[in-house]
Structure 1
Amino acid sequence: MRETGRRVRKIVVVVVVLTVIAAGVVWGVPRLLERVGVGQSALPWADPCSVDLGSETISLSREEAKRATTATALRARSEDPPDTSAIDPAVLERLADGPRDDAGPSLTCRVSADNDLSEEEMTGSGLTPRAERVRAEMAEVFGEQDVGGFAPGGIDEGHGEDSAHYDGRAIDVFYRPVNEENRRAGWLLAHWLVAHAAELDIAVVIFDDRIWSALGSPAGWRDYNSPDPDNEILRHLDHVHVDVQQGN
């Protein structure tokens, strides 16, 4: 009986210790991530998307993020938006207006690259089918856009070495001239692309000195290091760059 009692006490102690450790992880890790500037969407057990309101971060499911960014884009065009009654109004306000002091990223999502995708050939438009789908989906939500970075038959110059543009996997959407209004408009698109990245097999989004990638998505938006800090185009200040997964 004494031996059984000791075993029970050991089991209880182990359970208590594990519970304390788990509670510490659940409570402490989000705060540690916040200190280093990484959103809670980086946590594998958390909702995959989040919106930084400045004073707090609101988590969203992927469907909520898609609906919120689509509604924001359509409202900007005075079009009928999808139902967002279940989404915190502060999220919608932040996506529409952006940070108060300066335009910049507010929404990020965590995605996993689809390793089962096959590599695609360029179509007659100069884009792969996946990139064509992104172009069509953008046009449906944002209307007519000033796009470039591709051409029928493909392109082989004007971009960096090994650029996704040369494979027909990338599109540039221009917001010119570079000013506050166009920067905020560009972020509407950038957020929409990130929210739809899993669905549209998006690999990279670059805009306004910031970069988001599917591979690095747990870290959210990061600083983009341009090869020429004095060049607005290379810094992606005047256009949103999006490229899709290459496939295997």
Structure 2
Amino acid sequence: MTHRSTRPGRRWHGLVVAVAILAALGVVAVIGTRWIARNDVLPVSTPWGPECSVWTGEEQVRLDRDQAQRATTAAAVSAQGDSAPIEAPDTDDIPDAVTAVLEDGPEDDAGPSLTCRSVKNRELGVEEDLEPSGLTPRAEGLKDGMEEYFSDLSLGGYHPGGYDTGHGEGSAHYEGRAIDIFYRPVDEDNRREGWLMAHWLIAHAPDYEIDVIIFDDRIWSTSYPSLGWRDYDADPDNEILRHLDHVHVDVQRGNGADGG
């Protein structure tokens, strides 16, 4: 049998090409991130560095998970005023511009100001049995968590025994994994309240094994952990399908399965 040896020059050439490709991808990622920041598109969360990012209108500010959780909780407490069920956490280590944009929203546009990257928990077991509420234990835990931090929530998307009609094909509502938080009527004040909730959910996603959040023509999911908020396509004439009147949130199914 004849054995062919690989020439050293060929190996080195392949290594140089691979390094060049990785370097080019890194430059593209950095330039892309800076372009997004300059053009005020959406907050971004790169695969490296702190898990969360806030677009203040002038710059991207990176936050670790704890800072993001405290900042979004403080914003929610401030918005609720005396009805807030908890006291605001300390945010002295967080820039004033961050807390201001999370509390008040971007000027003239509530929009998403914060994003975080989260991945699926591959060690979760499957949950098939529903609680009396019609939610899975994980979704029930999320509901309890929201009610701990927010007062007077208008919740729906579940009922005892579960749903078998009324939602889109493959919806997590049919599995008892989804909750809708309603903000009606559709107006700017309720839109801002909805983004307070959406930001709080995205910051706390790992704590509650959250898989998907949809609101105000935007979607975030653990399937694309670094892309942040993306456009959500739906019937432009249907406020419900566009999720303008409610925040949809669902928890992970388990065993690495995608959310719905």
Normalising by structure 2, what TM-score? 0.82
Q: Distance between the aligned counterparts of 1:94 and 1:39, measured in 2?
A: 12
- In the other structure, the counterpart of 2:144 is 136
- In the other structure, the counterpart of 1:41 is 45
- In the other structure, the counterpart of 1:145 is 153
- In the other structure, the counterpart of 2:104 is 97
Which structure: greater helix fraction?
Answer: 1
- In the other structure, the counterpart of 2:62 is 59
Look up the equivalent residue of 1:233 and give its one-letter code.
Answer: I
Q: Distance between the aligned counterparts of 1:194 and 1:185, measured in 2?
A: 15
Alpha-carbon distance change, 28 to 161 in structure 1, aligned in 2, over 3 angstroms? closer
Could you tell me how far 1:82 is from its partner in structure 2?
0.5
Q: Report SS of the residue matched to 1:212.
A: strand
Measured against aligned partners, the alpha-carbon deviations of 1:176-209 in whole angstroms (never above 9, x if no partner) come to: 0000000000000000000001111000000001
Unpaired segments of 5 or more residues in structure 2?
1-18, 256-260
Alpha-carbon distance change, 179 to 40 in structure 1, aligned in 2, over 3 angstroms? closer
Count of residues paired in the alignment: 227
Alpha-carbon distance change, 91 to 171 in structure 1, aligned in 2, over 3 angstroms? same
Q: Distance between the aligned counterparts of 2:105 and 2:79, measured in 1?
A: 13
Alpha-carbon distance change, 27 to 55 in structure 1, aligned in 2, over 3 angstroms? farther
Measured against aligned partners, the alpha-carbon deviations of 1:103-140 in whole angstroms (never above 9, x if no partner) come to: 21010001111011011121111000110111111111
Could you tell me how far 1:169 is from its partner in structure 2?
0.1
- In the other structure, the counterpart of 1:194 is 202
1:162 aligns with 2:170: yes
Alpha-carbon distance change, 39 to 185 in structure 1, aligned in 2, over 3 angstroms? closer
- In the other structure, the counterpart of 2:215 is 207
Measured against aligned partners, the alpha-carbon deviations of 1:62-99 in whole angstroms (never above 9, x if no partner) come to: 01000100111011122420111111111000001111
Alpha-carbon distance change, 109 to 213 in structure 1, aligned in 2, over 3 angstroms? same
Alpha-carbon distance change, 218 to 38 in structure 1, aligned in 2, over 3 angstroms? farther
Contact persistence 2:43–2:114 (CA under 8 A): no
Q: Report SS of the residue matched to 1:243.
A: strand
Q: Report SS of the residue matched to 2:120.
A: coil
Match of 2:244 among 213, 231, 237: 237
Look up the equivalent residue of 1:33 and give its one-letter code.
Answer: T
1:178 aligns with 2:181: no
Deviating beyond 6 angstroms after TM superposition, the runs of 4 or more aligned structure 1 residues are: 24-28
Alignment of 1:75-94 (within 5 A): 75-78=78-81, 79=84, 80-94=87-101
1:69 aligns with 2:72: yes
Q: Report SS of the residue matched to 1:71.
A: helix
- In the other structure, the counterpart of 1:8 is none
Q: Distance between the aligned counterparts of 2:215 and 2:44, measured in 1?
A: 22
Look up the equivalent residue of 2:200 and give its one-letter code.
Answer: W
Q: Report SS of the residue matched to 2:152.
A: coil
Identity rate of aligned residues, in percent? 55
Cα RMSD, aligned residues only: 2.0
Alpha-carbon distance change, 145 to 38 in structure 1, aligned in 2, over 3 angstroms? closer
Contact persistence 1:118–1:247 (CA under 8 A): yes
Q: Report SS of the residue matched to 2:213.
A: strand
